[in-house]
Structure 1
Amino acid sequence: MKFKIIFILLILISVVVKAQNIEITGFIKDSLRNPLEYANILAVPNAENADMRFSITDKAGKYLLKLEANHTYEVTVSYLGYLPQNLTLAAEENDVSKSFTLKEGLNQLTEVELHYTPPVTVKKDTIIYLTDKFVTGEERKLRDVLKKLPGVEVDRDGNVTSNGKRVTKVLVENKMFFTGDSKLAVNNIPADAIDKVEMLDNYNKVAMLKGLQDSDDLAMNITLKEDKKKFVFGDVEGGAGIKERYMLHPNIFYYSPETTINFIGDINNTGVKSFTFRDYLEFEGGTSKLLQDAGSYIELFNSDFARYLNNDDFKANTNQFAAANIRQSISKDSDISAYVITNNAKTEAQSETNTAYLDNNTPFIEDRTSANNVNTFFTIGKLTYDYAPSFKEDLSFNSFVKITNNDSQGFISTINPAQNNQIETQSDIKNINLKQHISYSKKLNDNHTGTLEASYTYQNDKPITNWVTNQQILQGLIPLETDNFYNILQNKKIKTHVANAIVKDYWVLNSFNHIYTSVGVNAAYNDLYSNDSQLLSDGSINDFESAGFGNEFQYQFVNPFIGLEYKFQIGIATFKPAIYYHLYLWSTKQLNDSDSKRKALFLPQFTSNIEFNNSEKIRFKYQLNSRFPSVDQLASNFVLSSFNRVYKGNPNLENQLYHSASLYYYKSSFFKGFYLNIGTSVNKKIEQTKTVTQLNGIEQFNTEIMFRQPEHSWTVNGAINKKIKKISYKFKSRFRYNDFYQVVNNQTHLNISKGISSTVSLESFFKNWPNFEIGYTKDFSNYKAFGNKTNFENDEVFTRLEYDFLENFIIKADYTFDSYKNKTTGINNQSDNANASLFYQTENSPWGFEIGVSNIFNTEFKQQNSFSSFYISDSKTFIMPRIFMFKVAYKL
């Protein structure tokens, strides 16, 4: 009933019609009748209660200007290098056709005085917004400003898109803001400090490499107001709630042409995380760069640190976060900058999981309850030196450090046909990671540009894990001695040294033909130590070494390579075939056993871009990839993975080999408020490492083999957005297909998983009415294993409401309804979640006050499903309870 009421209210809002609009259409051309693309038409109303309107011409020089009927406007038509035209236009009740011819202002640009600045300026790969033309003064943060810019969207997580393309870097006054991630910027930069927002497509930090290096980055540059360019500004927000809830969130910024200092702090026990996994990816170099090395990305994604950052579902969370950033200009040619991010968190998590094991011979069900108390501390720092004496030379040096210390105490209860058991777990994970990176670029002459990139990484992991239970576990796999209780201890140490270097020459034969040559080397040294043992009640140690446990394993890997790329342009299409020759040399050593191997591979690549115009593009990419196993996969002795898993590596593993191809089509129209994005990607594995499992109840023994049966994955993504008047209509969908083999209990099976997810939504952009977003998501998925098929369905309805009223009040609310079904097992669960807040601040007062409540309906858990090669799980993950908060904000 609550859902229906909210749904009906939002539907009623969506049919509100503010005022009748009339359309002014026509063409803007020069004196030779050539169309002027991106010409500006600005209509300023004479009445104070009417909105300013503007339009931009398309490639045919056509414009569409929507004006409120029965108002008079002062219209200005302008284009860079041409004399502007002005006229007074009375908007009646009928549509009007009006075209303009602009005369070129030959040698008169210095004499022309423009008494306005266009609200939007569009160049080939740059869009500039003058924010004062769009804001009302009620905005608090950059997020609120961006939502009012045409073609720009900000989602709940702080991701920013411009005309359907995601922003990957954020700059302030052309300098990187912290890590460059958008979330810290949109949630913390005050709205009243912003003068302009610039969207820079195909962004490259080194200007001379633009057009040489392929870049799909979209950067957002924030230009500050003149009185904020040497000024301290920011705000401090504090709050308290019932049941001893609290929060404190200071943001202090100092900007000057020579010095920039930022500080962001956050202390709360409301479950808010100020640093997420996406922020961590930016620290590691950015998602686009990491995905070029799939092995490094997967290893990073599966790390303990990443798993903590990815977890947003917990019963309780206390978070202490601080981030400081400083940039100092040493001279006109060089800058030095540094940032430090530190976080200390305490988390309580709980889940209940129902798992169906799919073995054809003995299928069974396990019910498992898990509870964990986790303490997480990390500090991340970066020091950067940039030196650019001229356009022809650029030097950058970066030094990174990451220190983590995580400890946890957990309890696991498992009920299954073989045993009813309770296990206490303890872990202590210490890690230090150091990385140095240098890049140097120099324009050698008109035809040749050279680059050098080199890096060195040192990582030291020291995880300690302890399992305590009153029943024997993993019988037949670990040699336990009979005792009153069983205390199992594991120590691991992993040291890694990685060095990379590449030298590249960009040879420009002419405007349409380039040749790029590369020479480089990748080298790694890994040292793995592990020890598993039983601590007996009398204090003695039962070492598992006699049963094949314990590793002292070294792994050395060297990969010299050379590459040749030919880039050429034919009409609107650009092609770049490439071939890389890699020589792989690696050796392994376990105690007295050692082995050395070598392999040579040619790895071809091909990319193509077809650019019909700046707003319509097709991109294709193909690559043959090779990925080598990690030291954990190679270590040849047993190691405990969990209370119910034992793992043994295989030193005879070689590289995986797989094809990957992707095709994307992008079209946008700033003129029509429309964008379309469609893409598909295909992967085919031809040689791979495969996990082989021996399953006995819930207990399993895993090892790796080389596997040469082909496996496939295929995804199709699409999104379309159309803005009509004050409503933006959106649709996005994703289809995925994956077939893969599993090897369980000496039997090989082909599994297939398929799924499709679609979301339809609409969002309003009224000035004086409540703004809302409402959407519906439908997920279908099925998973086929051991000849059995499992079907899942998920329905989600979400709404968001924001309303500025009585000049000084802002109300925000959001609601989500979720219905989850496992149609095969009959599991059906529904949940809803809602949050709301009311903010008050007078226009000239630095003080603001807010009352808010999260999880209004006090929803206890989220329902979700997962699957592996031999089981399907339905789980409940418990979340934060309802929280009431009263906040006070002070703007500096």
Structure 2
Amino acid sequence: MTVSIRLFMRTVMLCSLALCSISVYAQRQIVGFVCDDANSSPIHGATVIQYQDSTRVKMLAYAITNKNGFFRLSSPNDGIGSIVVRYTGYEDLVVNSIAENDTLHLRMDKSSIQLGEVIVKGRYSGIKVKGDCIVFDVNHFKTGTEENVSDVLNSLPGVSVSGTGKISYAGRDINKVLVNGQEMMDVGSGMMINGLSSDIVSGVQILNNWKDGSIQEEYNDRNRTALNIETKKGTRTVGSVEGSSGILNKYELKPTLMASNEKFSLTAAGSSNNYGGEVFSIEEYMSSFVDLSSILNDGMGMLTLSESERLMLTPPQNVNKSRNSAIAINGVYRPSETLTIKSSVLLNSSKLNSLEDNSNYYFMSDFSSFERDAQVTTNNMLSANVNVRWKPSKRFELTSFTMGSYNDYGKSHDMEVSTFTYNLKAYQDRTQRKKQMSEALAANLRVGSNGLIFANASFTANSAKSDIGILSDSMLIQTKHILSGGFYEYGTYREVPSYSFNNELGYSHRFSKKRMLRLSVAYGNEREDVDSHGIADEVLQDKYISSRYSISARFSKQTGVLRYNIGNSVVWSHCKYAAHNGKTKAEWCPDMMLHLVFSPKQELRLAGQRSVSAASYERFLTYGMPLDYNSYRAASLMESPFVTKEQLLLHYRILEQYYNFLLFVNASYSREKGSGMDKVSQDGILSTHTYVDGGNTKNMALSATVRKGLGNMPVDAQLYTGYNFSSMPLIMGETISDYRMKRFSNSLTFSSRYLSAVNAEIKGAYEKTEINTSSYKTKSNEYAVSGKLMYAKNKWKGELMYSYEVIDGDLAYDSNHNIGFRLSYNLSHLYFRLSGSNLLHIRKYEWSETNTSTNYQSQTQYLRMPGYVLATMGWRF
């Protein structure tokens, strides 16, 4: 590794010295002012977009006017093209002819269109499509009952916001959330939009092919999508403090703050409750690390989650007590045009309790058992990062990303198990403590007028400590143990320090305004040292080392009707693990993306990719270890460490504004070879697992969303249909089988937008799930009907909600009526709210379902989170 670092540093220094004499790359600065044509007052918060040409298909630069109406655009020296200025309540201003080195003075006329009149006609869609920018008229879709920004976004066609604030558009995730054109929220954006008042929103835009203004992004062929939220008074200080209290000691606290000026911005959001409300998601967690992977242009060093992290971020349905809190803070400081400093802190603490009764049937051993399991899960996590971008000139840029995180996770089980032949008591404790430090550097240097030399490097150090402790009055697993007080004590303590180093050196060249070539070489190295300690002090060690060399070429075109990104990589992978001397594999890894833009309203994307990576070290451990009181993992039998993954993606969008019609179609297919097969043997309730070579995992997903306005009525209908299929090979005993899952999903929603105090929404949904192997087949059907009656007049807002859901499975049937409400009274800054959910199950909420795994089926009865009634008081500023 030392030799690799020295070689990399020498290469970067030589390239830097050689390029110091190259002429400065010309970049055009366009500055100007925007004002009202009638009274010459400056317009604050107007959107200024520069396009490649008058067709307005390719966006080059993007700016928001300040309080003086001033804006500045920085774009490559390949023509002015066309400039479009937009602001709510004004006609779009288009400028196609601009003199050299001229300060623009742009005057906007107020719009003569009365949106209320157009809504009655039913032909106004509330959406404008201008090239890569989709503009929503939020007043067209709002009913007046929206409480926060999340409610506003959810009302927009094609935009979906989860309970934790994850935003997607047309079935694709939003990569960045902007406020008045500024990057203000790297982490915690979900808590912010769930906490900020809906009254601050004046407009929303979807920005396809979004760039952040850096040199690296200008030469990057990635297609990122941003969502920009415009506030009514432009960039200002807004926030709220909200507290709730309810029956049975339920509570919720939600403070939010957003403040900014031309040099500094700060966002802070917090959320804490004990009624089961989600405050934290896997997207929030991963966003703490996303800048690390984005700095590495070829995607090396991508992060994965451990099993305990996945359980922490996606809690199961069987939780009946919950305490969850999270705080996210983001700061951006721009002391000058050459320096930008961003920092984020994310803190989470949670505790979950669950209780379930399981009637288990084990297929291979034809054995049954009853299990009562009480679980307590705790988690404490802290993550912080600093991102510094220095751009001393128009041709050189240096970016640094530093990140540190700590995670403390624990889970305990108290179990009682009974079978036909014996009864058993067992106690299990799992803990995991994980520390991580990462540093990434990226240097970008323009060469002449069309070239860019880039160099990236990153280093990551991890320390993961995990402990499995089991105490049982019956010994099912034949492993070393201690007998004390009539109980068998056994388990494993494992410590895994790991290190990874990745670097890349490359060159990008623009042949014209439309086409670009990217060449790069990359090297990555990763090492894990696994030290395991058994209960009897035996020490077991494994080492896993993987290296990767790659040469890549990619040719892309990002404008016009036909856009594409075609590349190929030659990858040499070398893995050394346990007692094996090492294996090497060379592979071609092509990737392709075709993007047909038939018009600003209609597009089709096709993408495909093939990649090769090293399998997880977990699949090559040379010793056995207990997983649970009735589950044991034997030493691995795998020999091949390489995993090949192939992916195909399709996306189609059509938006017809006149007929108020919207269609999204998404499809994906992936196949993974070489990740290994799980071989399972069963003896009563004891299962033994190991990994063997082979495996061909397949996943397929299809979905379509159609939204249509119903003639001249202000009512929208939305139809969703989806199909998911997954197949995973496994060996049950000595028989090779496939574990296959199919899921069909359908829903139909009608929602009204009348200019009156009352509106309504009705939704019906159906989902069918089938699970098949060579030895069994199960299926379940889920039905749901829901309705929402909304009221908004003067200072009052209210919602009355009802839903009915049924799960009808082979072994379980259950149903639930859910009644909820929300009533709020708003003064200028002070507001009061009374809300409730699942009112028929305030004290206790029982549920049953069937769960099917690879080797057993379980009929489960458990307690879910009960309903609540909360009284809320809040202050907005």
What TM-score do you get using the length of structure 1 for normalisation?
0.79
What are the Cα deviations for residues 420-478 of structure 1, in whole angstroms up to 9, with x where unaligned?
Answer: 3221122332211222222333332333223333222211111222211111122x455
| CA distance, structure 2, for counterparts of residue 372 and residue 488 of structure 1 | 19
Matched, 1:559 2:548: yes
| One-letter amino acid of the counterpart of residue 795, structure 2 | N
2:153 is aligned to 146
Distance 1:109 1:529, change over 3 A: closer
| CA displacement 1:158-196 (0-9 Å, x = unmatched) | 344556654331122433333256522321233444454
Which residue number in structure 2 is paired with residue 101 of structure 1? Answer: none
Aligned to 1:615: 601
CA distance in 2, matches of 1:225, 1:405: 42
Q: CA separation of 1:653/1:618 partners in 2, compared to 1, >3 Å: closer, same or farther?
A: same
Does structure 2 retain, via aligned residues, the 8 Å contact 1:388–1:395? yes
| 1-structure distance, mates of 2:303, 2:443 | 29
- Rounded to whole Å, the distance in 2 between the matches of 1:723 and 1:133 is 13
Matching of residue 699 in structure 1 with residue 686 in structure 2: yes
**Distance in 2 separating the partners of 1:836 and 1:413:** 40
- Alpha-carbon distance in 2 for matches of 1:294, 1:791: 39
AA aligned to 2:373 is S
Is the CA contact (8 Å cut-off) linking 1:151 and 1:673 kept in structure 2?
no
Counterparts of 1:147 and 1:523 in 2: how far apart (Å)? 43
Distance 1:688 1:883, change over 3 A: closer
Deviations 1:651-701 (A, max 9, x none): 633212243222332222344332212232233444441121222122122
The AA in structure 2 aligned to 1:531 is H
Change in Cα spacing, 1:295 to 1:383, as seen in structure 2 (3 Å) is: closer
Per-residue CA deviation, residues 299-323 of structure 1 (Å, 9 max, x unaligned), is 41x4312211211642112233322
Match of 1:252 in 2: 257
* Structure 2 gap segments, 5+ residues each: 1-53, 58-88, 116-126
Q: Distance in 2 between matches of 1:76 and 1:583?
A: 57
Provide Cα deviations, 1:243-294, integer angstroms capped at 9, x if missing partner: 2222222223332222222322233322223221221122232899799999
Q: 1:217 to 1:288 in 2, by over 3 A?
A: farther
Confirm or deny that 1:755 pairs with 2:743: yes
| 1:236-635 map, 5 Å | 236-285=241-290, 299-300=304-305, 302-311=306-315, 313=317, 314-359=319-364, 362-389=365-392, 392-417=395-420, 419-474=422-477, 476=478, 484-511=486-513, 513-533=515-535, 542-543=536-537, 545=538, 550-567=539-556, 572-589=561-578, 593=579, 595-635=581-621
Q: Percent identity?
A: 17
Aligned pair in 2 of structure 1 residues 695, 782: CA closer, same or farther (>3 Å)? same
For 2:511, the aligned partner's letter is L
Match of 1:777 in 2: 765
| Distance (Å, rounded) in 2 between the aligned partners of 1:133 and 1:324 | 33
1:745 aligns with 2:733: yes
The superposition leaves residues 180-231 of structure 1 with CA deviations (integer Å, 9 ceiling, x where unpaired) of 56522321233444454332112132455667534343211234455x6454
Amino acid at match of 1:564: A
**Partner Cα distance (2:151, 2:755) in 1:** 13
Q: Is the 2:480–2:534 Cα contact (8 Å) retained in structure 1?
A: no
Q: Which amino acid aligns with 2:426?
A: I
Matches within 5 A, 1:211-230: 212-226=219-233, 229=235
The residue identity in structure 2 corresponding to 1:675 is L
Deviations 1:357-409 (A, max 9, x none): 222xx423333322112222111111111223455444322212211122333
Give, in whole Å, the separation in 2 of the partners of 1:135 and 1:857.
30
Distance 1:189 1:235 in 2: 7
For 2:663, the equivalent position in structure 1 comes to: 676
| Aligned residue identity for 2:385 | K
- 8 Å CA contact retained: 2:701, 2:723: yes
SS of 1:473 mapped into structure 2: coil
Tell me the distance in 2 between the aligned counterparts of 1:762 and 1:354.
41
User: 1:511 Cα deviation (Å)?
Assistant: 4.5
| Contact kept in structure 1, 2:767 and 2:781, CA below 8 Å | yes
- Is it true that 1:822 corresponds to 2:822 in the alignment? no
Q: Is residue 202 from structure 1 mapped to residue 188 from structure 2 by the alignment?
A: no
**1:848 and 2:831 are equivalent in the alignment:** yes
- The superposition leaves residues 525-545 of structure 1 with CA deviations (integer Å, 9 ceiling, x where unpaired) of 101111222xxxxxxxx45x4
Contact 2:282 2:314 (C-alpha < 8 Å) held by counterparts: yes
Q: Following superposition of structure 1 onto structure 2, how do residues 856-867 of structure 1 map, counting pairs within 5 Å?
A: 856-858=839-841, 860-867=845-852
Give 1:731 deviation, angstroms.
Answer: 1.4
Structure 2 CA distance, aligned partners of 1:164 and 1:685? 23
Residue 627 of structure 1 and its aligned partner are, at CA, apart by 2.8
- Give 3-state SS (helix, strand or coil) of 1:204's partner: coil
- Name the residue aligned to 1:45: none
What SS does the aligned partner of 2:511 have?
strand
Of the three residues 158, 171, 181, the one matched with 2:165 is 158
Amino acid at match of 2:749: S
Any idea what SS the aligned residue of 2:280 has?
Answer: coil
Quickly say closer, same or farther: Cα 1:766–1:863, change in 2 above 3 A: farther
SS of the counterpart of 1:857? helix
- For residues 219 and 534 of structure 2, the distance between their equivalents in structure 1, rounded to whole angstroms, comes to 53
**How many Å separate the matches in 1 of 2:623 and 2:768?**
42
Flag the 1:702–1:879 CA change in 2: closer, same or farther, 3 A. Answer: same
Over 3 Å counting, the alpha-carbon distance change for 1:467 and 1:167 in structure 2 is same
Asked if 1 retains the 8 angstrom alpha-carbon contact of 2:800 and 2:820, the reply is yes
* Structure-2 separation of matches of 1:374 and 1:293: 37
The structural deviation recorded for 1:650 is 4.3
Task: Tell me if the contact between 1:316 and 1:349 (Cα under 8 Å) persists in the aligned partners.
Answer: yes
The question of whether the paired residues in 1 share the 8 Å contact of 2:481 and 2:490 is answered with no
Task: Determine the C-alpha separation between the residues in 2 that align with 1:561 and 1:482.
Answer: 55
**What letter matches 2:868 in structure 1?**
I
Pair 1:665-2:652 in alignment:
yes
If asked which structure has higher relative contact order (CA below 8 Å, sep 6+), I would say: 2
Corresponding position of 1:29: none
Change in 2 beyond 3 A, CA 1:208/1:260:
closer
Aligned length: 771
Aligned 8 A contact 2:196 2:240 in 1: no
Contact 2:680 2:855 in 1 (8 A): no
Q: CA deviation at 1:828?
A: 1.5
Tell me the residue number matched to 1:832. 817
Give secondary structure in 2 for the equivalent of 1:408. strand
Q: 1:580 to 1:688 in 2, by over 3 A?
A: same
SS at match of 1:595: coil
Task: Report the 3-state secondary structure (helix = DSSP H, G, I; strand = E; otherwise coil) of the residue aligned with 1:305.
Answer: helix
- The one-letter amino acid of 1:662's match is L
- Matched letter for residue 740 of structure 2: I
Alpha-carbon distance between aligned partners in 2 of 1:818 and 1:701, rounded to the nearest angstrom: 38
Distance of aligned partners of 1:629 and 1:163 in 2 relative to their CA distance in 1, 3 Å threshold: closer
Q: Determine the structure 1 residue equivalent to 2:863.
A: 878
Q: Are 1:620 and 1:663, in contact at CA under 8 Å, matched by a contact in 2? A: yes
Aligned partner (choices 723, 726, 733) of residue 709 of structure 2: 723
Q: Distance in 2 between matches of 1:235 and 1:570?
A: 43
Q: How does 1:623-662 map to 2 (within 5 A)?
A: 623-647=609-633, 648-650=635-637, 652-662=639-649
Alpha-carbon RMSD:
3.5
Shift of 1:847: 1.5
Partner residue of 2:118? Answer: none
